[in-house]
Amino acid sequence: MFLIATQVVGLIMLEETYEGIPREKIPWGPKIDYTKCISCGKCVEFCHNNAFAFEEKDGKKLSVVKNPNNCVVFCRGCEDICPVGAITHPSEEVIQKIIDRLKSEKTKT
Ligand code: SF4
Ligand code: SF4
């Protein structure tokens, strides 16, 4: 079990570090494929960490990834609720390698 530093913003628990690595150094977060997205807003409603938000674009309401670092590392919950499969996350293997490298750099300093 790893200790995760958290910050409470309203009722939202945000990770400040993951396995001792500052969260912003870990490139884990959702991406929206706008060739598939139908702007239903389910991802905005679903993510309790407010990774998504609505934005106005050309008079239309668009779901955007507003706070990618709010995404819980290795969570993929919103991929399952998107009705058209428009949400993806990076490869877990690739991100774990980055985390391992950052951890080993940290122990050397
Ligand atoms: S849930 Fe999927 S289709 Fe709906 S707004 Fe989000 S990304 Fe777009
Ligand atoms: S994967 Fe989880 S934490 Fe990340 S944006 Fe989706 S629902 Fe939010």
Structural domains for the chain: 6-108 (3.30.70.20)
**Low-confidence winner among 13-22, 35-44, 62-71 (lowest mean pLDDT):** 13-22
Residue 3, pLDDT score? 45
Residue position matching structure tokens 């309790």: 48
Q: What's the 39 CA to ligand 1 centre distance in angstroms?
A: 5
> What pTM does this model have?
0.87
Ligand 1 atom 8: residue of nearest CA: 37
List pLDDT tens digits, range 91-108.
999 999 999 999 998 877
Q: Count CB neighbours of 44 within 10 A.
A: 18
The answer to whether residue 43 scores a pLDDT higher than 50 is yes
Cα dist from 2 to 69, 73, 94, whole Å: 19, 13, 20
For 52, phi and psi rounded to 5 degrees? -110, 160
- Which bound ligand lies closest to the C-alpha atom of 42? 1
Q: What's the 30 CA to ligand 2 centre distance in angstroms?
A: 7
Q: What percent of the chain clears pLDDT 90, i.e. is strictly above it?
A: 78
Q: What DSSP assignment string belongs to 53-80?
A: EEEEETTEEEEEE--GGGSPTT--HHHH
Of the residues 14, 76, 80, which should be mutated to test ligand 2's pocket, given the most ligand atoms within 8 Å of the CB?
76
Residue 15, pLDDT score? 79
